[in-house]
Chain A
Amino acid sequence: MNRAVFAVVATIVVAGLAVLPLLGAPYWTTFVFSILIAYVLAQSWDWVAGEMGYINLGHYVFYGIGAYAFAIALSSALMPSVPLAMVIAVLVVAIVAAVLALPLFRLRGDYFAFGTLALLPLAEVLTNNNTWLTGGADGIVLPVAHVLQAAFWLALILAVASFAVTLVINRAPFGFALRSIRNDEEVAEVIGLPLLPTKIKALVLSSLFAGMAGAIQAWQMSYIDAVTVFGLNVALVPIAMALLGGSGLRWGPFIGVVLLAGIQQWLLVNITMLQATVYGAIILLIGRYMPGGILRAGILRGLPWLAPLTREHGAFVADTAIDQVVSSSAVMSAEMPLDRIAPRGTETPLLVCRDVAKAFGGNRALAGVSFNVAQGEIVGLVGQNGSGKTTLFNCISKVHSLSGGEIRFSGRDLSGLRRDQMAGLGVGRTYQIPRPFGDLTVAENVALSLMFGPQREIPARALTEARSFLAYAELDHRRDVRADALSLQEKKLLEFARALATRPKLLLVDEIASGLTPVEVRRFVDRIRAVRDDYGITVIWVEHIASALNAAADRIIVLEQGQLIADGPPAVVFRDQRVLASYLGAAEVVE
C-alpha cells in the first residue's frame, strides 16, 4: 500500500503522543503510559506466540524480573544511577530467559503454556521469601522521583521499537525461521534450521522487551511488590490483549491493547467489586468465541477500509518480496541454481551403513543393515510395508537415533549430529506423507531451505531462486498458493523441490511417485536421473513401482523385516527368488 501515507500518519501520531506529557494532563499521560507498557508486553509476547507458536503464559515473569532488577540495582548503595540500573535489569532478564529456555523448550503445545504459567507462582514465592534481596512482602520503595515525563518518553520509544522489530522480524530470515517452527519443527530442523538456538533467541528477545518495560514501570511507580508484578490477574492481561486483537497479525496486539485497556479503565471507574471476575469473563469469552482475535472475525474481514489492519504477516512479506522477484527475473528456466557436484574417487563411498539397528520398544525395525552407496549412484530401496525403509531414512537424516551400528556420510560418523547439521552436510529428504509448512506459500516453503542452508540467503534472493526449484518440479504456477491448499500430488512435488533446495549431496526420496499415472511416473524417472546426471546428486529412492526403479536405479537394495536380503543391479535383484517371494509375492519370475 501507500507506504508514504503510513509513514506520515505514524510520524504524526508518535509526535502527538510525544508532546502529551507536556500538556499538563497527568491523567491522560498516565493512561497512555500504561497503554504503551501494555503494548510492549503484548507485542513482545506475540513474537514467541503468534510467530513461533509457543504460548508463553509466564511472559510477565520477565517484566517482573526487569522491574525488580532495576529497583534493586537503583536502591543499592553502590551507585544509584538510572541508566546503569536499566542496563543491569536488561542483562539480568537476558540471562534468566536464556537459562529458563533450556527446560521450558522441552515442552510443546499446552504443556509449554502450563510450564511457563507455573513460573509466576514460583517467582512470587521466591520474591516473598528472599527478603534480604527483595524486601519480601513489603516490596521495594524507591525514592520518589516524579519521572512521569521521562518514563513516558522511554515507554514511547520502547513501544515504537517493538513495532519496528515486528516489521523487521517479518522480513528477516529469523521471522521465517519462527514461522517454520510454528508450522512443523521437525521439518524445519531437517531442512537445516538449528532449532534450540532459534527458540532461545526468540525467547530472549521477547523477554528483553518485557524486562525493559518492567524497569521503566518500576522507575515511574517508584514502588513494586510481588503481587503487582507476578500476580495471576495482572500477568495474563497483556496476553489477553494480544489474543483479543489477533495474535500473529501485524496490528493485532495493538488493537487488542487499545480496546482492552479502554474497557479496563471504564470498569475501574464504574465497577468496584468482582473486577477479576469481569477480566476472567472477558478472557473466557475471547477464548470461546474468537480465539483467532477480533481482527480475524468474519465481519471485520469484509470491510475494505480495515484490510490493512487484518492482513497476516505472511501476506505482507509475500506481496513485497514477490513483486521484486517478478521484476528481477521474468524469464524462468527449469535449471536449478546448483553447482554440479564433482565426482570423487570410488574408493570412499558417500554413505556407509554398518550393522544399522533401530528398535522401538520390543519391535526391531532395523536389525543389522549394512550397505554402501557410492557417489553418483541412484539406489532403489524396496521392501514390503513395515520392512524398515522409512525407518532407515529417518536414521540417516537423524530423525531417529540409532540403537546400534554406525552410519558414515562423506567419511564422517553421524552419531552425535543434529538434524540441521545433517542438512548442512548435504543430506536432503522428502516425507512419504508430505509435511509442507501449511500456512506459508509454496514459494516460501522452498525459500526456507535456501535461507537455512549453508549459504544463508536473504529472503528476497531465496524467493527468487525458489522459483527455479519450483519450475524444476513443475510447480511454479502454484507458487503463491498457501501450501495446505495443494493437492496430494502437488504436495509431493513440493517435498521434492524443498529437498532439492537444501542443496543436497545425497537425496532421500520417499514414495513420491505412488499415485501418479504411468506417463507421469516416466517423467518422474527422467527427473530423478537428471538430478543425478546434471547435478551429480546421489539418490536413494524408496518406491513400490518396480518398473520405475528398474528404469531409474543403478542398484536395488531389498529390505525384509529390518534385514537386507538383496543388493545388486535391478536385472539381478528383480529375478532373485527370495526377493520375488518376499516382495512381489510370486514364486516364479514373470516375464
Chain B
Amino acid sequence: MAKLIAQNVTVSFPLYHGESRSLKKTVFAAASGRLGQDKKHRLVVEALRDVSFSLKTGDRLGFVGSNGAGKTTLLRTMAGIYEPVAGSITIDGAITALLDPGQGMNFDLTGNENIRLRALFSGYPESEITRLQADVAEFAELDQFLDLPVRTYSSGMVVRLGFALATAIKPQILLMDEWILAGDASFMDKARHRLETMVRGADILVLSSHSAEIIMQWCNRVIWMDRGQVRADGTPEEVLAAYLPPEQFAQVKAAADVAV
C-alpha cells in the first residue's frame, strides 16, 4: 500500500544574492572579519512553512494557489529532491515526479537512450527495457522519432515523451505539475485514460494546477496553498468554493455536473 506523509515540513531557500555567493566575497569577508555577520545576515526565503498532510492509497490530491504559493516546491519536496530544513517526508512506494517536461532528460541523446537511462534508474533488467521502449513509442506516437536526439522534438513531443515515460514506469505515487496540460486535445484524452488506469490501480496521484476544471475532474481532495502554508484542506467542492470567486466556482461546478 502506498503512503505519503508530510509532517511539519519547512523548506527555505538561501539567497546568495549575486556576489555573496562567490568565493571572493567570502574570502574578503573573512579577511575583514565579517564572515560571522555575513552568515547571520544570510537571507532566506521561506518557501514552505509547517506543511502537514497525509496521503494514502486511492487519494488524488490537487494543489491550488497563486503563483509563488509553494506548489512546485512542495511537489519537489514530496519527491525527495529538496530535503526539508525541519519536519519530515515519508514516502512508501515507488514515486515518479513529472515536474518539468525535460525531467532531467539529456536533450542531445535520442528518445530511446533517454528511456534506457530512466529504466536503469528504476532498476529495470535489460529484457524490460526493450518492452518499455516499445510501450513508450506506442503511447507517445513517436515511432521513428525515438531514434533522433530529443532536441529535435517539438515541445509537444517532449511533453508526450515525458508523460509516457513517467507513467510507463508504473509508479505507485505520481506527482504532476501543470505542464502536462500543454498537450493537444487528443493527447489529453489519452493521458487522462492512462492516468485513470493508473489511479484505478489504487495508487496516489498529486496534481498541481491552475485549472479548476482539471482539479474538479481529477481529484478527490484539494489543498489550497497560500504563501507557503496550507490555507485549506478538504474536498474539491469545499476548497474551490472558498478559493475561487463565487461566479467562477458556479461555472466550474456547472461544467463538472454536466460532465457527470
Q: Do A and B come from one complex?
A: no
Report A's interface with B, CB cutoff 8 A. none
Q: Which residues of B contact A (CB under 8 A)?
A: none
